[in-house]
Amino acid sequence: MRPVLSYSHIHKTATLYSFAVDSDRRGCGIGKRLLQKGIREMKLSFVSCISLFVARENIPAINLYRNMGFRILRELEDVCGPGPKCYEMDLEPGHGLP
């Protein structure tokens, strides 16, 4: 998490890193529950923006994030490792963040 100053107050932003579920356990709802818990904890810490980066080819993760209210902001190179393109995503306003 990091604070971002504005004219009215300090906004807290958080970036989700290295979120993964073991391949033997995918499709069981574990990722969704972990993400829900993480978002709930960030809300309790008054985080106003949650962002993440995901490889463009990782369709299951992108679908999970979209179902949880994240939106794609832009496509980037060399963020998810050298060469592969990835998306920067953030949690859309109105999903319970302050």
The token duo for 91 is: 């949690």
* CA–CA distance, 45 with 88 (Å, rounded to integer): 22
CATH of domain 2-91: 3.40.630.30
pLDDT of residue 9: 62
Which residues sit opposite 4 in a β-bridge?
11
* CA–CA distance, 89 with 17 (Å, rounded to integer): 12
* 9-18 tens-digit pLDDT: 667 888 888 8
Domain ranges of the chain: 2-91
pTM for the full predicted model: 0.80
pLDDT of residue 62: 94
* 27-77 tens-digit pLDDT: 889 999 999 998 888 888 888 889 999 999 999 999 999 999 999 999 998
